[in-house]
Amino acid sequence: MVALCSTTIWQNAEAQLLKKLKDKVNQAADKAVGDKTGTNTGTNTGNTGTTGSSTSTSSRPSNKGGAGLISTPPDIAANMTSSEASFKDNKFSESRYALQQSILGVELQIGKEILKSLPDSVQGLPKITEKDKVASSGWGWSGLTISRDYQKDDKFLGVGIQDFSYLGPAWAMFLNGGMMNSQVENEKQKMKNIMVKGNKGVISYDDSKGYTVVVMLTQGSALVWEGVNFASEDDIMKAVNTFDIDRIKKFLGEK
């Protein structure tokens, strides 16, 4: 804990120090360029360099666009073969890397299949395809995250599917506990337990965030919905119930 605190303090101090250093370097660079181009007025005290011709030459240009990265999901079968070959040669580091690449490839493919199975629109809210996200660490059960957004005007629904196996026991306690699962503030219910298509879950409401529904699946995965500007609990639950949870479970290998 002490180490963590020390690290945090140090990181803050370092960030401030770096910022000051960066400002000084920028000032010096501006001055040097200004001297060469004759644009210095002699009293350049600003630290951002936002005026004069020196700005256009010394400031870093902003990126105006590019083709991005080429999508190269790992070749699952090739990596399995590579892992096996390296294992036989006692090259365990290479074998492990290839195996993790295989897992990464499989998880990305599972993520894509799940996204394909989600509805195109939910209660009149169309999906925002460009925000579809599949992320995998390639490190096993805790690494897969899938999300999709639905939005029309100011009404928004986000759905996320995440493996939470390492949080599983904590969630089980939470859902079965009875201590924390019913929270009331100012006589308003803020959080409560619910059942969604036979799965235990929790719904919460916050004026600034809207509704959040979390459903834990059998072995650690969780489905999370965030609803902004939904009129009522009934409204958000109708949206949640349009999702085929059993099908998602099947993709994740959950019973």
Partner 1 sequence: MKTTLFFFATILYCNIIFAQADYAKYIGTARTSFSKPDLEDTRYNLMLALQQLDMKVGQEILKILPEKMDSLTAQKKLDNIMANSAGWIGTTIHREYGMSQQNKVEVDIVSNSPMVASLNAWLNNPMFAQMGGRKAMKVDGYKGSYTYEVSESTDASGNAIKTPRSEMQIPIFSSLVTVKCDNMKEDDFVKMLNTLPISKIAEMLK
Nearest residue (CB) to partner 1, 11 versus 51: 11
Q: Are 157 and 151 contacting, i.e. CB atoms less than 8 angstroms apart?
A: yes
**Smallest Cα–Cα separation from 195: which of 161, 252, 150, 240?**
240
150 forms bridges with which residues in the sheet? 127, 157
Residue 161: CB minimum distance to partner 1, A: 13
Q: Are 205 and 225 contacting, i.e. CB atoms less than 8 angstroms apart?
A: no
Residue 244: CB minimum distance to partner 1, A: 16
Nearest residue (CB) to partner 1, 54 versus 82: 82
Residue 118: CB minimum distance to partner 1, A: 16
Binding mask 10-49 for partner 1 (x = CB under 8 A): xx--x-----------------------------------
Q: Are 115 and 251 contacting, i.e. CB atoms less than 8 angstroms apart?
A: no
- Rounded CA gap, 51 and 44, in Å? 10
Q: Which of 39, 57, 165, 193 binds partner 1 (CB under 8 A)?
A: 165
Max CA distance (Å), the chain: 75
Nearest residue (CB) to partner 1, 81 versus 121: 81
**CA 165, 166, 172 angle in degrees (round to 5)?**
70
Positions that interact with partner 1 (CB under 8 A): 2-4, 6-7, 10-11, 14, 76-77, 80, 83-84, 87, 90, 92-93, 95-96, 99-100, 102-103, 106-107, 109-110, 113, 139-142, 165-166, 250-253
